[in-house]
Structure 1
Amino acid sequence: MAEILEAPSSIAALDKHKMEEAIRSFPGYCMEALKLGMEVNLEPLEKRIRKISSLVFLGMGGSAIGGSLLKDWAYDRLKVPVEVCRNPKAPSFLNEETLTIAVSYSGNTYETLRAFREVADRGSPVLTVSSGGKLAEESSRRGLVHLKVPGGFQPRAALPYLMIPAGAVLERLGVFEGFRREVEDAVRLLGKAGGSMKPETSVDENPAKRLAVTLYGSLPAVYGFREYASVAYRFKTQLNENSKIFCKYDVFPELNHNEIVGMEKLQPFLSGKLHLVILRDGREPAEIKAMIEAFQEVVSQFSLQITEVYAEGETRLSRMLYLIHLADYVSFYLAVLNGVDPTPISSIASLKRRLEGKLS
């Protein structure tokens, strides 16, 4: 089965909608996205918010993950609380000192629009991000700052545009420092490391292909910690949407207090199929290292597989984005091994049609 990964032409034949092209372009998209965030006119927003006491991201699916990643990246740099709202109902604590960033790639996401309208009607300061749609139209009508990103992508492939401009804006507003520098560092890293993950690189020399082969036919669970919590979630959702497989994720040390017990009596159909992918960092804190190692010592007696995946890079953001880029390619190659085009998401499209009928 792995032979197909040695044939770039066969890979391309399955990739009818050119998902690999979007993955390959990830570093370039990061720089374009940074430029958008640095150049957008913030004057109307700055007039409305003199002090930021809390921060809220509104979004769903691929449009929400950017807020979660920014929250994880800045967890020890933020001086204000952050909420990522994946819900049509906005948090009740919003006020004139809450900056809300509403993100919907299409601009037409039902849940995000509902929450956005509630926030805007309250008069709280809002920045919106989309490629167009109703979110852009309503932002213009309300006189709000709208950050328009390029269209034509699947939302999950547009991650740089749904995360990095917001981070650049927050740095410009003084919420945190160092974001721009770390994006530029990450782009340099990905430009070098990404070459080893491309279809032209053989399985033996390609870390993404090797991991895809290792995961083929298994039930993966991706585990992260702290700044890799949302990276693990992103890995999971990419395996769901690109590879069309079931996958779950969890986070250390919390999973040591519950999930570990669920492995004691694995159901027969899971025996030998469960494959744990643990995201690691050579600079991880000693206490996190001890927690992960103790977990592995306990579960090694159970009928499951474990693969550790280490981040690369000098800065926190570069290490996060390295693992995201790797995960994107792993999910792509696993789709190829499964014989499916990674782009279509028919179940989501079907659900949206049904939901539209029920809510109309």
Structure 2
Amino acid sequence: MSLGGNNMEQDSILKHLEQFHSQCIHAAKLASEYYAKDPENIDNIVVTGVGNSALPGDLLKSYLNIKKAVYVNRGYRIPEFVGPRSLVFVISYSGETEETIDAYRSSLSRKAQVICITSGGKLGQLCRINNTEQILIPKGIPQRLALGYMFIPMLKVLENSGLCDLSDEIEKTAKTLKSPMFKNKALELADRLLKKIPLIYTSSKFKSIGLRWKYMLNETAKTLAFTGEFPDMNYNEINGFSQPQGDFEVLIINEDTDYSKVKKHMKIAKDIIKKKVRVTEIAITGDCQLSKIFSTIHLGDWTAYILARKLGIDPVKAEYSDSIRESLKK
């Protein structure tokens, strides 16, 4: 199947997609000796970051099944409840994100248990000055493709702190991610999304997966894409399909263990939508929770990349986002 642009083999982003399984294993090793300072006195977990550095927090909420509240902070200010009994993960791949640096300082002032995940930058310098635990991850990767490095260390810290049990989920997931199935399936999906506006729907449990698909289509394929979740969308957004104003492709991402009433919502909505807009269903599958989440994400990452190539678009550059970051520094 022909792809636009330069040869795929010469594309730097391709290497990171093909080595994502290795990234997950390496990320676990980087965090193997880190743990919360006082794990028995943690009431809540906060993940602070923006954009692709906040997404690991959303994924953590989808993954974890523990009696601790998980809150994702996407701004300068941290929630008022943050204090000594909070475990705060501060994530900034570049280490230069001003919103995250402000949130880091606020977390320290509240005496929270803080662990930073970064490749360095200003945040890394502040960690050294303040003697804050930091898990240093490799530089030189497009931020959106460093998801394993930003997410897996949190799981290892929680496991090392006795707050979750990973068993061999990381190893199982890495093995699954090696499969050529993702690229092959993505070729089909990219054809369906060509010159379309993707509308991505999931259950509320897996809304983080829908968000990841949106982010990658936005940044890699430079394509507008939007997300929604069941059952909420059936009380508002569904009405927009009576007279859809655009060339849409609906993706419904579902999983067998979704609540039965949520699955009923999905079926009813699909029957309505397909009368006006083509619907593609994508099943979340895997032999453990981490594999289910990362397999579906990996398929979306490949789809966005191949769509970019078919459109003749540079999949690496994110010109508008980069220009905004530069403007904020002035």
- Could you say which TM-score interval applies, normalised by the shorter chain? over 0.9
d(CA) in 2 for partners of 1:4 and 1:170? 42
Matched, 1:60 2:47: no
- The match for 2:235 is 257
Contact 2:39–2:163 under 8 Å retained in 1: no
Deviations 1:311-342 (A, max 9, x none): 22111211111111110100000000110110
- The match for 2:14 is 20
- SS at 2:7's partner residue? helix
- The match for 2:122 is 134
- SS at 2:317's partner residue? coil
- The match for 1:188 is 175
d(CA) in 1 for partners of 2:210 and 2:167? 23
The AA in structure 2 aligned to 1:229 is: K
The AA in structure 2 aligned to 1:317 is: L
Contact 2:3–2:306 under 8 Å retained in 1: no
Contact 2:117–2:137 under 8 Å retained in 1: yes
Contact 1:57–1:64 under 8 Å retained in 2: yes
Offset, 1:218: 0.6
Identity of matched residues, %? 29
d(CA) in 2 for partners of 1:226 and 1:254? 8
Offset, 1:233: 0.3
- The match for 1:160 is 148
State the TM-score, normalizing by the size of structure 1: 0.88
- The match for 1:337 is 310
Matched, 1:223 2:217: no
- The match for 2:76 is 88
- SS at 1:343's partner residue? coil
Matched, 1:234 2:212: yes
Contact 2:192–2:249 under 8 Å retained in 1: no
- SS at 1:313's partner residue? coil
Contact 2:273–2:279 under 8 Å retained in 1: no
Q: Which of the residues 162, 167, 186 maps onto 1:208?
A: 186
- The residue correspondences of 1:118-133 to structure 2 (distance < 5 A) are 118-133=106-121
- The match for 1:202 is none
- SS at 1:28's partner residue? helix
Q: Which of the residues 259, 275, 296 maps onto 1:285?
A: 259
Offset, 1:174: 2.2
Contact 2:39–2:161 under 8 Å retained in 1: no
d(CA) in 2 for partners of 1:225 and 1:49? 31
Matched, 1:173 2:166: no
For structure 1, the 5+ residue unaligned runs are: 199-205
State the TM-score, normalizing by the size of structure 2: 0.95
Q: Which of the residues 248, 255, 258 maps onto 2:226?
A: 248
d(CA) in 2 for partners of 1:161 and 1:125? 20
- SS at 1:101's partner residue? strand
- The match for 2:27 is 33
Offset, 1:286: 2.3
Offset, 1:298: 2.0
- The match for 1:305 is 278
Return 124-133 or 286-295, whichever deviates more.
286-295
Contact 2:89–2:117 under 8 Å retained in 1: yes
Q: 1:106 to 1:94 in 2, by over 3 A?
A: same
Contact 1:34–1:180 under 8 Å retained in 2: no
- The match for 1:347 is 320
- SS at 1:39's partner residue? coil
Offset, 1:154: 1.1
Contact 2:8–2:14 under 8 Å retained in 1: no
Offset, 1:282: 3.5
- SS at 1:137's partner residue? helix
Deviations 1:181-225 (A, max 9, x none): 22221112112x2x2344xxxxxxx11100001110111011111
For structure 2, the 5+ residue unaligned runs are: none
The AA in structure 2 aligned to 1:139 is: C
Contact 2:33–2:160 under 8 Å retained in 1: no
Return 255-264 or 144-153, whichever deviates more.
255-264
d(CA) in 1 for partners of 2:300 and 2:217? 8
- The match for 1:97 is 85
d(CA) in 2 for partners of 1:122 and 1:97? 10
d(CA) in 2 for partners of 1:136 and 1:49? 24
d(CA) in 2 for partners of 1:123 and 1:289? 43
